[in-house]
């Protein structure tokens, strides 16, 4: 088992990076958050890895943090969730929001992930409920007004944003004191970049 790979970032694109170590280029599949942590080509990087061995090939999955790798391992332990789906979940929901969704049994948040059906999402919530500890970041999230998130979601949908994407964006941009208008403004500014 390869625990981590450290080397020079040779190439990166959506969902994949090539890291050179001892004149060997390792193609590693990564989540959006890990990709965002790898700022430049030719920089040195360390990715914690998981190696998937199947009949049709060997695939490496990489993570910027041990916490992200631990969550990945928990996700693939759920029946019906393979490495690709787990990476899809980690790419679409931040680690804090995912932990929060599991802890609070928020199926609506999980169903924002493309390809993750309601039954699999329910199974994930049931199987991981006792395996996820409450992070400190959840303490601040407890004060988020979910009715504001729902209103902001409806407003974003009326502006042409897909329902799942609208909910995810509204949830990510909500804060303790945020009004519906503030949430929408943050989302629209983020989409403009």
CATH code for the domain of 165: 1.10.8.10
Q: Each residue of 118-162: pLDDT tens digit?
A: 999 999 999 998 888 765 545 445 557 777 888 888 888 888 887
Q: Tell me, what's the pLDDT at 176? A: 60
Letter string b/e over residues 113-143, b meaning 16 or more CB atoms within 10 A of that residue's CB: beebeeebbeebbebbeeebeeeeeeeebee
Cα–Cα separations (whole angstroms), residue 41 to 14, 122, 124? 14, 39, 36
Q: Tell me, what's the pLDDT at 136? A: 52
CATH number at residue 98: 1.10.150.20
Q: Tell me, what's the pLDDT at 156? A: 87
List phi, psi (to 5°) of 45: -145, 155
pTM confidence score: 0.72
Q: Are 75 and 39 within one domain?
A: no
CA separation for the pair 172, 167 (Å, rounded):
9
Q: Tell me, what's the pLDDT at 2? A: 87
Could you list the residue range(s) of the whole structural domain that residue 87 is in? 67-135
Which residue would you say has higher pLDDT here, 172 or 56?
A: 56
Give the residue among 94, 87, 179 at the shortest CA–CA distance from 137: 94
Q: Are 59 and 71 within one domain?
A: no
Q: Are 71 and 59 within one domain?
A: no
C-beta separation of 135 from 108 below 8 A? no
Q: Are 131 and 147 within one domain?
A: no
Which residue would you say has higher pLDDT here, 168 or 37?
A: 37
CA separation for the pair 118, 122 (Å, rounded):
6
Q: Tell me, what's the pLDDT at 82? A: 94
Q: Tell me, what's the pLDDT at 168? A: 74
- 69 has a pLDDT exceeding 70: yes
Report the percent of the chain where pLDDT is more than 70.
Answer: 92
- 10 has a pLDDT exceeding 80: yes
Average pLDDT, the chain: 86
Q: Are 83 and 124 within one domain?
A: yes
Q: Is 18 helix (H, G, I), strand (E, B) or coil?
A: strand
| Contacts of the segment 36-39: beta carbons below 8 A, 24+ positions apart | 37/64, 38/9, 38/12, 38/64
Q: Are 88 and 111 within one domain?
A: yes
User: 21-35, 49-63, 153-167 — which is least confidently predicted?
Assistant: 153-167
Strand extents, DSSP E, the chain: 4-13, 16-21, 24-30, 44-54, 57-63
Q: Each residue of 73-116: pLDDT tens digit?
A: 999 999 999 999 999 999 988 888 888 889 888 888 888 888 88
C-beta separation of 79 from 95 below 8 A? no
Letter string b/e over residues 153-181, b meaning 16 or more CB atoms within 10 A of that residue's CB: bebbbeeebeebbbbbbbbbbbeeebebe
Q: How many domains does the chain have?
A: 3
């Amino acid at each position: 088992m390869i625990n981590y790979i450290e080397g020079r970032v040779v190439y990166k694109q959506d969902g994949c990076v090539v890291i050179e170590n001892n004149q060997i280029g390792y193609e590693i599949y990564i989540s959006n958050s890990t990709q965002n942590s790898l700022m430049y080509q030719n920089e040195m990087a360390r990715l914690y890895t998981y190696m998937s061995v199947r009949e049709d090939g060997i695939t490496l999955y990489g993570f910027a943090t041990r916490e992200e790798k631990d969550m990945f391992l928990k996700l693939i332990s759920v029946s019906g969730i393979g490495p690709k789906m787990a990476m899809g979940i980690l790419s679409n929901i931040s680690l804090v929001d995912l932990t929060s969704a599991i802890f609070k049994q928020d199926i609506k948040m999980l169903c924002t992930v493309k390809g993750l059906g309601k039954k699999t999402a329910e199974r994930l919530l049931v199987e991981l409920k006792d395996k996820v500890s409450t992070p400190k970041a959840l303490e601040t999230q407890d004060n988020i007004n979910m009715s504001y998130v729902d209103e902001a979601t409806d407003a974003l949908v009326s502006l042409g944003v897909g329902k799942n994407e609208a909910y995810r964006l509204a949830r990510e941009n909500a804060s303790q004191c945020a009004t519906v208008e503030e949430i929408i403004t943050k989302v629209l500014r983020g989409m403009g970049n």
